[in-house]
C-alpha cells in the first residue's frame, strides 16, 4: 500500500478477472468498477496470451480507468495477483526483478506497470474464491469471457 491518507479518499471497488482458452491461447480480461452508485464495465482480449497475463491486465486496465487518486479495493480470484502485490513484489524489486532462485520474474512488464499504477492510489488487495457465487467476481468473469468471445469473433479487443 502507498502512503496516501485514505481517510480523505473515496473508495472504489474493483472486481477483476482473466480468462484463457488454452494456456497459452486466446485470452480475455474483464473488470467491473463500482463507486457510489456508479459503475463501469471494461473488457478486452489478446490472441496469444496466458491466464496470468489476463489476470494482471484486468487490474491494470481498471486502475488506468480511475480519473484521480483514490482508495481502491481490488477483488481478485487470482492468488498470483493478490500475493504478487502484497508479498512478492518487494523482493522482486530488491533483486532487480529476479525471483528468490535468481530467475527473471515472469510477466515483469505487467508487474512493473501494475506497480506504478498501484502507487498512485491506496490499494487494498482482496482475494475472493472464484466461481463461488460472489456477484462482483462472477460479473468480472463474465466480462473476461466476453473479451475472449469478442476476440474469437474478430471484434476489436485491446
Q: State yes or no: is 17 an active-site residue.
A: yes
Cell of 39: 459503475
Query: DSSP class of residue 6?
Result: G
Q: Which of 27, 44, 71, 141 is catalytic?
A: 141
90 in helix, strand or coil? helix
Q: State yes or no: is 108 an active-site residue.
A: no
Query: What is the spatial distance between Cα 23 and Cα 136, in angstroms, rounded to a whole number?
Result: 24
Q: Which of 36, 37, 101, 131 is catalytic?
A: 131
Q: State yes or no: is 18 an active-site residue.
A: yes
Q: Which of 27, 71, 77, 84 is catalytic?
A: 77
Query: Which residues fall within 8 angstroms of residue 29, CB to CB, at 6 or more apart?
Result: 16, 17, 18, 19, 43, 44, 45, 54, 55, 57, 58, 61, 143, 144, 147
Q: Which of 18, 30, 45, 147 is catalytic?
A: 18
Q: State yes or no: is 71 an active-site residue.
A: no
Q: Which of 17, 30, 71, 84 is catalytic?
A: 17
Q: Which of 55, 71, 84, 147 is catalytic?
A: 55
Q: State yes or no: is 48 an active-site residue.
A: no
Query: Counting runs of H as helices and runs of E as strands, what totals does the chain give?
Result: 5, 5
Q: State yes or no: is 5 an active-site residue.
A: no
Query: Which residues fall within 8 angstroms of residue 150, CB to CB, at 6 or more apart?
Result: 28, 43, 44, 45, 156, 157
Active centre residues (catalytic): 17-18, 55, 77, 131, 141
Amino acid at each position: 500500500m502507498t502512503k496516501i491518507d485514505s481517510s480523505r479518499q473515496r473508495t472504489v471497488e474493483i472486481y477483476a478477472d482473466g480468462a484463457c482458452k488454452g494456456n497459452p491461447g486466446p485470452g480475455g480480461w474483464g473488470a467491473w468498477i463500482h463507486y457510489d452508485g456508479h459503475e463501469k464495465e471494461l473488457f478486452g482480449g489478446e490472441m496469444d496470451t496466458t491466464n496470468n497475463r489476463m489476470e494482471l491486465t484486468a487490474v491494470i486496465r481498471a486502475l488506468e480507468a480511475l480519473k484521480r487518486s483514490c482508495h481502491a479495493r481490488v477483488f481478485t480470484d487470482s492468488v498470483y495477483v493478490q500475493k504478487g502485490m502484497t508479498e512478492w513484489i518487494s523482493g522482486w524489486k530488491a533483486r532487480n526483478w529476479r525471483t528468490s532462485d535468481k530467475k527473471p520474474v515472469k510477466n515483469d512488464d505487467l508487474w512493473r506497470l501494475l506497480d506504478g499504477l498501484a502507487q498512485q492510489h491506496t490499494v487494498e488487495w482482496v482475494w475472493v474464491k472464484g466461481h463461488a457465487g460472489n456477484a462482483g467476481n462472477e460479473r468480472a468473469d463474465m466480462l473476461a469471457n466476453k473479451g475472449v468471445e469478442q476476440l474469437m469473433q474478430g471484434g476489436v479487443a485491446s
